[in-house]
Structure 1
Amino acid sequence: GARRPDDGRRRAPAPEWVRADFADLTDADAWRPLLEGVDAVVNCVGVLQDGAGDSTSIAHERGPRALIAACEAAGVRRLVHVSAVGADDDAGTAYARSKRVTETLLEASRLDWAVVRPSLVVARGVFGGTALIRALAAFPGFIPVVGGDQAFRPVAMADVCEVVVRLLAPGAPARVRLDLAGPQSLTLADLLRAYRGWLGFAPAPVVGVPALLAAPALAIGDLLGRLGWPSPLRTTSLRQMNHDVGGDADAAERLLGLRTRSLDQHLSEQAAAVQDRWHARLYFVRPLAIALLSVFWIGTGLVTFGPGWKGAVAILHEGGYGAVAPWIAGGGAVVDIALGLALLVRRFTARAAIGMALVTAGYLVAATLTLPQYWLDPLGPWLKTLPGLALCLFVAATDERR
């Protein structure tokens, strides 16, 4: 089940995919067609923080409440819920409180439920916090970190999946909560050093970032999340890390006979490829590219309407556009500003970047036909657009988040 099953079907064609968006499934009746012929349900839905398109209430309370009621009505007895270590009221976050609500709803139900509460989950593919960890580990020259002494017991995604599979087997333990963690206890600083080595970069010192300096970045992350740019650089992430991300290293072996692998084992099983190094190094470059492109396009439009108006019209007259020169200058400025603003809207970013590339190519064709001499200008007004064109293509090509 996925919000965008077509995307999943292209990447993994073997399973049967259905559309299942919790935002549309807050009533038990809505679940009925999805549960026909189903013997068990695994719920992996979760969001870090409220924002554009994300709701902790829907993901952790209203959606699960409807799902549990629907399972009871349809006779689906088994429900395995993937929660998280530290999902309790003491964490002081809406994420933890609402995650705990899901567990409470299960405990009050008639289902044969099981709750899996993993510590930090590590996998070859990364998203969210684990992507940030790789990016920080790959930072040039040094490794920045807020705190650094937070304790983790990373657990491999393969072990999380194996636990879920074992909990779905006949005779598996029911009505249990399982804190799932790896055997290796590491501080955040240790984790960053391990990933830097795995990525193949030379060792670098870990440099602590004072909380006062980190606070503005987290506030910006919270704001961007509400605008549709979810990021692990948010207050919830830091609070959860400072609260509890450890877990019980022996619980899976006691309950299911599974010995989880250490981070060293996990990393040794999958050597880093060039794609991993690129992703880690480009993690901070991409938002910088988006910000600079937006500033450049909005700025050129505003300059054209302001102090650069006479110059812009004069150049167009030089190119032989005559009476329509002011209209071309004004229209071009409007397009520049519109594309610069659209780039900042998450769902339009890739299309805006492609639009910028096409508009740039159009500018260059028209400029070459009417003002070819500027290709030889020592300040390079036409040549300088080529790196901008490449940057637009970079932003468009790296739009995928997961």
Structure 2
Amino acid sequence: MDILLTGASGFVGRAVLAELLGRGHRVTACCRNPEQLTIRHEHLATFAVDFNEADTVAAWWPRLQGIDAVVNCVGIIAETRNQRFEALHNQAASALFTAADRAGVGKAVQISALGADGTAESPYHVSKRTADDALRQLPLDWFVLQPSLVYGDGGQSAALFYALASLPIHCLPDGGRQFIQPVYINDVAEAVGRCLDADTTGRKTLALVGPEAITYADWLAGLRRRLGKTGATAVSIPLRYAKLAASLGRWIGEPILSPDSIAMLARGNSADVSVLTDFLGRPPVNVTSRLFERPASQAERWQAGLYFLRPAARWVIALVWLWSGVTSLFFYPHDLSYRMLADTGIEGWIAALTLYALALMDIVFGVATLCRYRIQSLLLWQCYIVFAYSIVVACRLPEFIFHPFGPLLKNLPFLVLLLVYRVLEGERP
């Protein structure tokens, strides 16, 4: 079959792409950044699309000529300034399905979410359900797949769960008694492949879940064992306080951590596994044997340990620049600053200009760091400035080299922190 796959560079999309190519299908994969696709295959074609702008039938129509089936894997776990649930989950998906029907496409597979039903309340679930309903109204063969928590290598939410599991204290909303039913990514991909088999017809909504439901507390405990850590202290947090704490996610740059996420957890995430077992012709993979009993890699352990240190690094770096600039302007005696500048060869009105310019630059660096403005270039420029400061001071004010508090030497760990944080920012999805 000729298949149009959307969201091909995402966690689920990559697995589905490999599954479809493995089944001999010809795939046209679209995503924001096709260059991120590592798969190279003779039956694979790619093109870039901005789903924020793909909200009309006309946007999809040219891409659907000669296509037999569409698979929509576009999805975000949390909203950001440039990615909204309504635009990506509903408007773009609904336009795609309508265009597919008008173009004579025979099948459509929608990766939705467990909980996107009549009782949905969160913006995430509501946006998914709206697109699901739009697809269900069309006359083509459709399949709405509703996975529970999907786990596997490269999962976007996995990093947060591992970081939470690695903490010595597990703060569990309402005791962590909520049930989830994690499903392995390969089972999700195989289910998509089965939907596209020639003998699979009809219109089905299918819950994709693992063989057994486990509590959220057991989920974190299992991940912690996998990290090679001893048991953590469990603390039950009332749901309203858990939502309040989760609202801090926006301040640490972690949109997945939000009150809506806590609300979705509170409603539970489990379903009857027998339907998926019949559909696959086998039971889905058990999370204990596939995940918990396999030790984490060094990279996974590092990621768990560094997860919450990344936002901490941003705030610390910003504080250093802001405090340096504010102190230079308002607290440190200007005559002492001018004396140090004179020792470096800068005197007169140029010294005043230099003092205020450098102080304002420090403040700008601090604010830009908090805002993550062009963060990769920004951090590199900060490295250059700190290095230049250090060289000038070492050459013209050598007494700081041998100062017992090591004010100049402390620039070295700060430089390393800037470089480490730059690497961590580069790993953001």
Deviations 1:112-150 (A, max 9, x none): 11011011111122313x3221111111x3333223111
Q: CA deviation at 1:213?
A: 4.1
Q: Name 1:194's counterpart in structure 2.
A: 222
Cα distance in 2 for residues equivalent to 1:401 and 1:352: 16
Deviations 1:313-341 (A, max 9, x none): 33212222112222222221122111211
SS at match of 1:18: strand
Cα distance in 1 for residues equivalent to 2:381 and 2:392: 16
Q: What amino acid is the match of 1:280?
A: A
Contact 2:80 2:255 in 1 (8 A): no
Deviations 1:355-400 (A, max 9, x none): 2112111111121221122111112111111111111111100112
Q: What amino acid is the match of 1:250?
A: S
Q: Name 1:296's counterpart in structure 2.
A: 320
Q: What amino acid is the match of 1:275?
A: A
Q: Name 1:396's counterpart in structure 2.
A: 422
Contact 1:136 1:145 in 2 (8 A): no
Q: Name 2:7's counterpart in structure 1.
A: none
Q: How does 1:125-144 map to 2 (within 5 A)?
A: 125-128=154-157, 130-139=158-167, 141-144=168-171
Q: What amino acid is the match of 1:327?
A: L
Asked if residue 79 in structure 1 is aligned to residue 108 in structure 2, the reply is yes
Q: Name 1:349's counterpart in structure 2.
A: 375
Identity across the alignment (%): 31
- What is the root-mean-square deviation in Å for CA atoms of aligned residues? 1.9
Cα distance in 2 for residues equivalent to 1:53 and 1:217: 24
Cα distance in 2 for residues equivalent to 1:116 and 1:363: 57
Q: Name 1:335's counterpart in structure 2.
A: 361
Cα distance in 2 for residues equivalent to 1:389 and 1:54: 33
Cα distance in 2 for residues equivalent to 1:328 and 1:54: 42
Cα distance in 1 for residues equivalent to 2:215 and 2:339: 62
Asked if residue 69 in structure 1 is aligned to residue 118 in structure 2, the reply is no
Q: Name 2:132's counterpart in structure 1.
A: 103
Q: Name 2:271's counterpart in structure 1.
A: 247
Q: Name 2:24's counterpart in structure 1.
A: none
Cα distance in 2 for residues equivalent to 1:401 and 1:62: 26
SS at match of 2:374: helix
Asked if residue 41 in structure 1 is aligned to residue 64 in structure 2, the reply is no
SS at match of 1:306: helix
Q: Name 1:318's counterpart in structure 2.
A: 343
Q: How does 1:175-186 map to 2 (within 5 A)?
A: 175-186=203-214
Deviations 1:48-94 (A, max 9, x none): 44430111111122111210121112221211100111113423211
Unaligned runs of at least 5 residues, structure 2:
1-29
SS at match of 1:248: coil
Q: What amino acid is the match of 1:76?
A: V
Once the two structures are overlaid, the 10-residue window that deviates more, 268-277 or 100-109, is 268-277
Q: What amino acid is the match of 1:131?
A: A
Q: What amino acid is the match of 2:76?
A: V
Cα distance in 2 for residues equivalent to 1:293 and 1:214: 28
Deviations 1:232-258 (A, max 9, x none): 210111111111311222221223423
Question: Given the superposition, is the C-alpha separation of residues 283 and 330 from structure 1 closer, same or farther in structure 2, using an over 3 Å criterion?
Answer: same
Q: What amino acid is the match of 1:388?
A: F
Cα distance in 2 for residues equivalent to 1:176 and 1:370: 76
Q: CA deviation at 1:173?
A: 3.5
Question: Given the superposition, is the C-alpha separation of residues 269 and 18 from structure 1 closer, same or farther in structure 2, using an over 3 Å criterion?
Answer: farther
Q: Name 2:14's counterpart in structure 1.
A: none
Once the two structures are overlaid, the 10-residue window that deviates more, 277-286 or 243-252, is 243-252
Contact 1:217 1:233 in 2 (8 A): no
Q: Name 1:16's counterpart in structure 2.
A: 45
Q: Name 1:30's counterpart in structure 2.
A: 59
4+ residue runs of structure 1 moved beyond 4 angstroms? none
Cα distance in 2 for residues equivalent to 1:41 and 1:114: 10
Q: What amino acid is the match of 1:43?
A: N
Cα distance in 2 for residues equivalent to 1:244 and 1:212: 16
Cα distance in 1 for residues equivalent to 2:138 and 2:164: 42
Contact 1:138 1:281 in 2 (8 A): yes
SS at match of 1:113: strand
Equivalenced residue count is 394
Cα distance in 2 for residues equivalent to 1:132 and 1:280: 8
Deviations 1:129-188 (A, max 9, x none): x3221111111x333322311101111011111111111111214310001110122101
Identify which of structures 1 and 2 has the higher relative contact order when contacts are C-alpha pairs closer than 8 Å and 6+ apart: 1
The counterpart of 1:364, out of the listed 376, 380, 390, is: 390
Contact 1:31 1:70 in 2 (8 A): yes
Contact 1:89 1:96 in 2 (8 A): no
Cα distance in 2 for residues equivalent to 1:346 and 1:2: 24
Unaligned runs of at least 5 residues, structure 1:
none
Asked if residue 162 in structure 1 is aligned to residue 187 in structure 2, the reply is no
Cα distance in 2 for residues equivalent to 1:351 and 1:319: 28
Cα distance in 2 for residues equivalent to 1:211 and 1:189: 14
TM-score, with length taken from structure 2: 0.87
